[in-house]
A and B are shown apart, each in its own frame.
Chain A
Amino acid sequence: MTASALRKPAPKPPLLEVSGLSKSYGTQVGCRDISFAVRPGEVLGIVGESGSGKSTLLACLSGRLQPDTGSISYDMKDRGPVDILTLCEPERRRLARTDWGIVHQNPRDGLRLDVSAGGNIGERPMALGARHYGNIRTEAQDWLQKVEIDLARTDDRPRTFSGGMQQRLQIARNLVTRPRLVFMDEPTGGLDVSVQARLLDLLRGLVRELGVAAIIVTHDLAVVRLLADRLMVMQRGRVIEEGLTDQVLDDPHHPYTQLLVSSVLQV
């Protein structure tokens, strides 16, 4: 399942390339001197405990936080690689709602709770100019099926959905415009274990089917084991180990990674 990176020995040019990224809050370090690249269709997992800087990093990458130093180069569809920190705000906002997706840990942060499931999925196409109600609805229902939500719930508000359904709806709302890069922040956090497994299965299928690249931040090693091609382990704001997921998990080098792996896998 994590073999896709191995199957493609000649790597495509990176979709996202981060170098020397740092962000601190006063004396507290958020993340320090982070560099890495994500290629098209590649899934990168970032693991670490809370406070390790992974959420700060994700917020910087997705444009929600301004880093202190560093650059974030993104291969834009029409312009090639651009440092997104130099983009003006409308360009960044447009990128965020067309070519990117952001799946929040709490689906309430990523959904409009007083708008129907269909409307939630339809928002992005409408923002891009879709003006045919029937087509918008059909597309929304296609996506509801993809994320295994009963079509009878199309006009229901997500307020009435279970946590797992809300999370699946959030994923559909993001993927409907076929973004090339999706940021996910603890996508299975706060869900029951059985619900988590189903969601992970679904996510894995969708990511592979659409060939979308993803950056997944989590403290849950099972999530990255299932989804990520490559892995970065963070501690106190720094990347302490990185590599192919299987390599890192099966043969951890850094003592902290060893601790992390042993504490989870032996349970």
Chain B
Amino acid sequence: MSAGTTMNHSDNGYNFAYLDEQTKRMIRRSLLKALSIPGYQVPFGGREMPLAYGWGTGGIQVTAAVIGPDDWLKVIDQGADDTTNAVSIRRFFQTVADVAVTESTEVATIIQTRHRIPETPLKEGQVLVYQVPQPEPLQKIEPRETETRKMHAYAEYGAMQVTLYEDVAHFGRIAKTYDYPAIVNGRHLMSPSPIPKFDNPKMENNPAIQLFGAGREKRIYAVPPYTSVRSLDFDDHPFEVQTWKGSCALCGSTTSYLDEMITDDRGSRMFVCSDTDFCNTRQAEAASAPDDKAAGEDA
């Protein structure tokens, strides 16, 4: 996030990063409020974007409000830089903000994501922008916003715990695998967006700023750097993340989140990293170190 003017300089007829400056200021005010009350959903005057609702309009507005000409932007969907929606959003910012883009988690100053947190640990000064389809973790229990607002205000989260109880009673374990609810800063129940629960521990005490934008529902929330994010669980059924028996077929990682690829019509499959930058970097490293035969070894 760099200072400096962002007034319109592009020749496409749109202001820098599409939104007008008043709208950006409105969003920044909401972001500041969100950072001040970690996990609290701040209503904001979300605008209609040239991208369909549910396709990242919240994330785009947040990114547009914080991006400057000196930023390096990375956009991922499902962990990958080359998925259709990531490509589309990256192109959008290249068009309306003429900003430098990168696929490297290391280099990026702003990472907009859908459904994943990069495997490479984030650093201070980086901003992770999540696209959120449904910001309200209580909605499945209580569809009324007038009621869920009160539940948050009074920290009435017993009903949420009941859903975990039901899982254990019926399946012997907590059966939520993604969009796994967490308590932020010991106070607000938050939807981490539909990231796999595998990524939940990465939110905890993270040095980067984590911003969440829900365009259709017009809500912004945030986790400031170094904030506690505790996934709900029971003392005798503690929170656990997914594990895989094998390793990535391309880079050999045993610690990353793996996607399953069906490779033929006989049901053959292989597992590869969902985080393409992580996987490519490891493959490149392995290639440049020919002595290291065992690519499967992890650092």
Contact = CB atoms under 8 A, between A and B. Distances in A.
A115 B160 CA distance: 12
A134 to B, nearest CB: 5
B170 to A, nearest CB: 6
A112 interface: yes
Interface in B159-196: 159, 161-162, 165-166, 168-170
A133 B162 contact: no
Interface size range of chain A in the complex: 20 to 34
Contact of B158 (A126, A132, A133): A126
B165 A132 contact: no
B168 to A, nearest CB: 5
Contacts of B154: 89-90, 93-94
B152 to A, nearest CB: 11
Given A118-B169, A154-B169, A155-B169, A112 B236 contact: no
B235 A131 contact: yes
A87 to B, nearest CB: 12
A119 interface: yes
A154 B157 CA distance: 22
Interface size range of chain B in the complex: 10 to 19
A contacts with B: majority SS: helix
B106 interface: no
B153 to A, nearest CB: 7
B159 A116 contact: no
Contact of A115 (B157, B166, B235): B166
Nearest to B166: A119
Nearest to B169: A155
A154 to B, nearest CB: 7
A137 B162 CA distance: 11
A123 B162 contact: yes
Contacts of A133: 165, 168, 234-237
A132 B235 contact: yes
A122 B156 contact: no
Nearest to B161: A126
B165 A119 contact: yes
A187 to B, nearest CB: 24
B67 to A, nearest CB: 39
A128 interface: yes
23 contacts: A89-B154, A90-B150, A90-B154, A97-B158, A115-B162, A115-B166, A116-B169, A119-B165, A122-B162, A123-B159, A124-B158, A126-B161, A127-B158, A131-B233, A131-B234, A132-B234, A132-B236, A133-B168, A133-B236, A133-B237, A136-B234, A137-B169, A154-B169
Interface of B: 150, 153-154, 156-159, 161-162, 165-166, 168-170, 233-237
Interface of A: 89-90, 93-94, 97, 112, 115-116, 118-119, 122-124, 126-128, 131-134, 136-137, 154-155
